[in-house]
Amino acid sequence: MTHVQALIDAIGLGAVYALIAVGIGLVFGVLRIINFAYGQLIMIAAYMLVFTQGWGDVIAILIAVAAAVFASLVMDRAVFRPLRNTSPATVLVATFAVSYLLQNLALLRYTYQNRPVGDSVGVLGGLNQAADIGSLHIRWITFVAIGTGAVALGTIALLLNRTSIGLQMRAAAADFHTARMVGVRANTVIMAAVAISGVLAALSAVILTVQSPQVTNTTGLSETIFVLIGVVVGGMTSLVAATLGGFLIGFANSFLGYELATQGSTSQTAVPFTSGVYLPSVIFVLVIIVLLLRPDGLFVRRGRAPVERV
């Protein structure tokens, strides 16, 4: 039965990572930019949940969504757009710079006020309680994460496949030059993608802060790194592949963590898998193997080169 519990927990984490993967993948699709600063959008949304403590959960979440969307749009306008015609390396380094800038800005909050790093969040805190189903012990937030992930991904799939702006976003992602030539407005499509990615960052922030209610300047950072790896493993050129990759890395992270820990503690071997110490190394070995075998991505049809940038 514990395996079932580990499985459900793993699906829960996979769902959050899938949301982040879509947020990163949508922007990559239209802009060919890997936004390393995506984690700081999550951080900004998380801090909004801190600042709005006591305003009620709904208002707090709405403000977090608005802040993440706003920050995402500002990032596009201030950084991505001026650098749109520069090399991918330049843009990637710029997003690193934005990421560290925002992390260090957040750190100022603690150094100047001389208190321990971190704020606690109480939004939707009740969801951190566990529900007991038979012998299973599963936190409500896990179900909420799975439900939110399914609804958000379903909504985005409908948007992309059933609406005009979705068609335009897909066209821009597949071939931006041709899209503009037939009249698709570049900035409209880019802003739509950037805004939706902001919404997803905020949703991820809400779930992550329920799971671990401590917000610091590195909130969202490790998740983003893991998801970026997952997105590359899945395949950057397809949003579906990138999303599956994000889900997979979250799933593997949680499931392997559980299974390895269990084995370590019962088998008394000389190699103690009892902590998470060995977990990243196991995952990264798998990542390297996948990338060696399928450099274009696990879920991408072969022989498709990445498309040129805008």
Is 164 near another protein (CB under 8 A)?
Answer: yes
Cα(238)–Cα(130) distance, integer angstroms? 36
Q: Which of 87, 104, 111, 178 binds another protein (CB under 8 A)?
A: 178
Amino acid at 253: N
Is 184 near another protein (CB under 8 A)?
Answer: yes
Nearer to another protein, 89 or 182 (CB): 182
Select from 28-36, 99-107, 120-128, 160-168 the region that touches another protein (CB under 8 A): 160-168
Select from 23-31, 65-73, 82-90, 174-182 the region that touches another protein (CB under 8 A): 174-182
Least Å from the CB of residue 192 to another protein: 13
Nearer to another protein, 237 or 254 (CB): 237
Phi/psi at 233 (5° precision)? -65, -40
Contact between 273 and 263 (Cβ < 8 Å): yes
Is 148 near another protein (CB under 8 A)?
Answer: no
Q: For residue 180, count other CB atoms closer than 10 A to its CB.
A: 15
Select from 45-53, 88-96, 141-149, 183-191 the region that touches another protein (CB under 8 A): 183-191
Is 302 near another protein (CB under 8 A)?
Answer: no
Where in the chain does DSSP place strands (E)?
A: 119-120, 130-133, 136-139, 214-215
Is 242 near another protein (CB under 8 A)?
Answer: no
Is 214 near another protein (CB under 8 A)?
Answer: no
3 state DSSP class of 215: strand
For residues 179, 185, 188 and 189, what is the CA-based torsion angle, rounded to 10 degrees? 0
Is 307 near another protein (CB under 8 A)?
Answer: no
Is 303 near another protein (CB under 8 A)?
Answer: no
Q: Which of 35, 168, 243, 253 binds another protein (CB under 8 A)?
A: 168
Q: Which residues inside 185-204 make contact with another protein, applying CB under 8 A?
A: 185-186
Q: Which of 54, 116, 183, 303 binds another protein (CB under 8 A)?
A: 183
- Phi-psi sector, 54: left (phi>0), alpha (psi -120 to 50), beta: left
Residues binding another protein: what is the number (CB under 8 A)? 17
Is 3 near another protein (CB under 8 A)?
Answer: no
Nearer to another protein, 184 or 279 (CB): 184
**Binding stretches for another protein (CB under 8 A):** 164, 167-168, 170-171, 174-175, 177-186
